[in-house]
């Protein structure tokens, strides 16, 4: 087929040529001309803003005291948080970016990864000099939970700025130090804790191997005791035994806590932790140790992940962390805990603090993304609902409310649960430690999954602006992704949760006693019943909401126990039977976590006096509970909800989103995150993206 050409008549061509000539003339003489007339303005590129724009503060009503709401959400150490926010805002080390007349602080992830690491260390040295995490162990010993809670608050602020910075400080202090304090004994603590606190000794956790990450009991690294020299010989026997993706190992760590199979007198005594120096005071790698850089990652490139090999490295006998078991000079193994499984559990128990931190920091990243996306939705307009009418704010569309406000409600509920977890962990007693482990595992998995879902939804809700690096959303998606697998792969963690719940259920059944652990006491009471007709008042009742989530949890636990039992009856081992019931243990762990989060949210709400805050939190709590019901098809699959009641839940969620819409700005303002930690599109996106004016010395584009 012959190509088709469009023909213009001579008058059209002449008009086009005249218009182009006029525009080019305006470009060339614009600097020396007075402001153009309204007629000229139709063909001249200027910096005038075309849209009618006002920031959300001018059009939205704040219906409650946001400072008081923040106090409830943060829970503790507000002044210390603001102090650290201020330190970061005021220092050039934190890469201030100027956009739209405001200053924003954020790491420069476009730097080469080595430069990102160096900047991270410079920031850490500055923060330590200013007293961040000062007296981490010495003060904590004197003031106990108070000092530890302060450090957790500061860690949340650091991770609000940049996850890599928080992790780089947390690994030596919270994780490595916790192992020295809780698995070491007096001589370890006296030798290392002060140096750890001052960042003179930078420790890494050499636990995961190339061949064995989650299955720690199969770790291949070996530490063999030599009684003739009273030393352990640490060795990497094969390539799959290399310590892999170890944070801080590639550049900065001076010491490693190496997990290895302890061999003495010809017997393998299982996994134990050993302190091994990997660099000297000058940063040179120690003899018989090889270290390689894992290289750039999809995110978190400020952390120097590395690989480590040990070629028969000799360390003193005293470098075994012997709080659980010891090796005497003659090689005799002395276990303080006789049960090998329990002993193994104690060896990895200090990982709990890592999961507590990931749980809460996930929520703070989520808050940043929601504050950006909701503020943008309160200023960005699109389409009109009437002919020639004004364009509508994004957040006034029911579909946009449905995208963001249920995620906001979940974030509020998880904030209350995270605060409870921190307090429970910090003030834990031996008899409550099993519950702390269960909830830290459950919250880490569910909260970090929620965070990733929210970050991605907020990125999409901001359209192309969400892709811009200086608007943070896409970068937060990349850096937060690792939280789903470090400190425990989420899919394996939820298996651990369901195992613990199942064990408690079966033990209670076997001994004919009441359920006592993990908040399962509600199962000692008669089973809740969902009314056949669900009105709006019933759906918004906290009694109905907690009963519905308890009913789901109870039913799934019985189904899970029954299916595991059936598989065992057919000859499967218990472990394999549990794996075969994967679909149920995944649903059970979610039900277990969401029920506990709602329970803690209700308790937080009950402690608030009557007033606007209590009223708004009732809406938030109801939206959280009903979105949990709506999103989980087990309610209909197992007959807990009829089709009519499921439709009623969906309709009520839509109503709640509409009722929360007027409070959206106040709810995200209550996060207490400074403007500088957000993004240009959260404030004046038109100004941030407007064309530079010629009076500022910028050249306008040559094309039209």
> Which amino acids are annotated as binding site for FAD, given as ranges?
247
Strands 255-264 and 222-226: parallel
The closest of 370, 409, 232 to 679, measured between CA atoms, is 370
589 Cβ neighbours under 8 A, 6+ residues apart: 442, 445, 446, 494, 495, 497, 498, 501
Note whether 691 and 47 are within 8 A (CB). yes
Question: Looking at the annotation, which residues are catalytic?
Answer: 487
Handedness of CA 306, 312, 315, 317 (dihedral sign): positive
The closest of 664, 684, 698, 693 to 104, measured between CA atoms, is 684
Q: Which residues pair with 667 in a beta bridge?
A: none
Here the tokens at position 3 are 């190509």
| Helix 433-461 vs helix 351-377: crossing angle, to nearest 10 | 30
What three-state secondary structure class fits 607?
coil
Please report, in range form, the residues annotated as the binding site. 247
In terms of Cβ atoms closer than 10 Å to its own Cβ (0-12, 13-18, 19+), residue 401 is buried
Handedness of CA 153, 154, 157, 158 (dihedral sign): negative
Note whether 395 and 662 are within 8 A (CB). no
Handedness of CA 520, 490, 484, 181 (dihedral sign): positive
Strands 325-327 and 313-316: unpaired
Rounded CA-CA distance 511/377 in Å is: 56
Q: Which residues pair with 290 in a beta bridge?
A: 309
If you search the block for the tokens 């199942």, which residue do you land on? 502
- What Å distances lie between residue 639 and 317, 424, 642, CA to CA? 61, 36, 7
């Amino acid at each position: 087929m012959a190509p088709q050409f469009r023909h213009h008549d001579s008058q059209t061509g002449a008009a086009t040529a005249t218009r182009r000539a006029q525009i080019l003339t305006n470009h060339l003489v614009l600097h020396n001309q007075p402001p153009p007339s309204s007629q000229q303005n139709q063909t001249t590129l200027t910096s005038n803003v075309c849209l009618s724009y006002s920031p959300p503060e001018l059009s939205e009503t704040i219906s409650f005291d946001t400072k008081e709401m923040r106090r409830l959400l943060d829970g503790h150490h507000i002044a210390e948080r603001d102090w650290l926010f201020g330190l970061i805002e005021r220092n050039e080390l934190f890469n201030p970016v100027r956009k739209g007349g405001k200053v924003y602080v954020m790491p420069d992830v476009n730097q080469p990864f080595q430069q990102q690491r160096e900047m991270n260390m410079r920031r850490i040295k500055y923060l330590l000099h200013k007293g961040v995490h000062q007296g981490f162990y010495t003060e904590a010993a004197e003031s106990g939970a108070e000092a530890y809670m302060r450090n957790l608050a500061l860690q949340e602020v650091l991770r609000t700025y940049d996850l890599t910075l928080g992790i780089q400080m947390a690994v030596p202090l919270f994780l490595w130090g916790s192992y020295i304090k809780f698995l070491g004994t007096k001589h370890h603590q006296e030798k290392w804790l002060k140096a750890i606190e001052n960042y003179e000794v930078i420790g890494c956790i050499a636990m995961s191997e190339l061949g064995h990450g989650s299955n720690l009991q199969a770790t291949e690294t070996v530490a063999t005791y030599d009684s003739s020299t009273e030393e352990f010989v640490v060795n990497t026997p094969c390539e799959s035994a290399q310590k892999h993706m170890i944070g801080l190992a590639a550049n900065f760590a001076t010491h490693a806590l190496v997990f290895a199979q302890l061999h003495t007198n010809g017997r393998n005594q299982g996994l134990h932790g050993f302190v091994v120096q990997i660099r000297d005071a000058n940063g040179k790698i120690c003899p018989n140790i090889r270290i390689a850089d894992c290289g750039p990652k999809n995110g978190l490139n400020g952390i120097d992940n590395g690989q480590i090999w040990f070629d028969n490295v000799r360390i003193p006998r005293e470098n075994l962390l012997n709080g659980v078991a010891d090796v005497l000079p003659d090689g005799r193994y002395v276990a303080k805990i006789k049960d090998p499984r329990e002993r193994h559990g104690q060896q990895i128990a200090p990982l709990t603090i890592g999961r507590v931190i990931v749980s809460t920091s996930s929520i703070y990243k989520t808050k940043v993304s929601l504050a950006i996306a909701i503020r943008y939705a309160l200023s960005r307009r699109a389409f009109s609902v009437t002919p020639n009418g004004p364009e509508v704010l994004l957040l006034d569309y029911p579909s946009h409310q449905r995208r963001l406000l249920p995620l906001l409600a979940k974030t509020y509920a998880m904030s209350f649960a995270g605060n409870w977890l921190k307090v429970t962990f910090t003030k834990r007693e031996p008899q409550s430690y099993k519950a702390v482990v269960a909830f830290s595992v459950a919250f880490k998995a569910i909260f970090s999954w929620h965070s990733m879902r929210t970050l991605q939804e907020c990125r999409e809700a901001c359209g192309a602006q969400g892709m811009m690096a200086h608007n943070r959303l896409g970068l937060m998606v990349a850096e937060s992704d690792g939280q789903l697998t470090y400190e425990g792969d989420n899919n394996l963690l939820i298996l651990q949760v369901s195992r613990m719940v199942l064990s408690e259920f079966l033990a209670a059944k076997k001994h004919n006693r009441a359920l006592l652990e993990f908040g399962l006491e509600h199962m000692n009471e008669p089973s809740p019943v969902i009314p056949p007709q669900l009105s709006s008042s019933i759906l918004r009742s906290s009694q109905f909401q907690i009963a519905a989530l308890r009913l789901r949890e109870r039913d799934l636990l019985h189904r899970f126990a029954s299916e595991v039992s059936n598989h065992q009856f057919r000859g499967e081992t218990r472990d394999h039977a549990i794996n075969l019931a994967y679909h149920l243990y995944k649903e059970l762990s979610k039900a277990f976590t969401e029920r506990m989060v709602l329970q803690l949210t209700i308790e937080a709400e009950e402690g608030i006096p009557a007033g606007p805050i209590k009223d708004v939190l009732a809406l938030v709590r109801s939206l959280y509970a009903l979105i949990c019901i709506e999103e989980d098809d087990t309610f209909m699959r197992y007959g807990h909800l009829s089709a009519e009641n499921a439709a009623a839940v969906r309709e009520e969620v839509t109503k709640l989103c509409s009722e929360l819409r007027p409070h959206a700005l106040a709810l995200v303002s209550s996060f207490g995150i400074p403007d500088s930690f957000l993004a240009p599109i959260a404030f004046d996106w038109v100004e941030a993206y407007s064309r530079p004016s010629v009076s500022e010395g910028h050249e306008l584009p040559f094309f039209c």
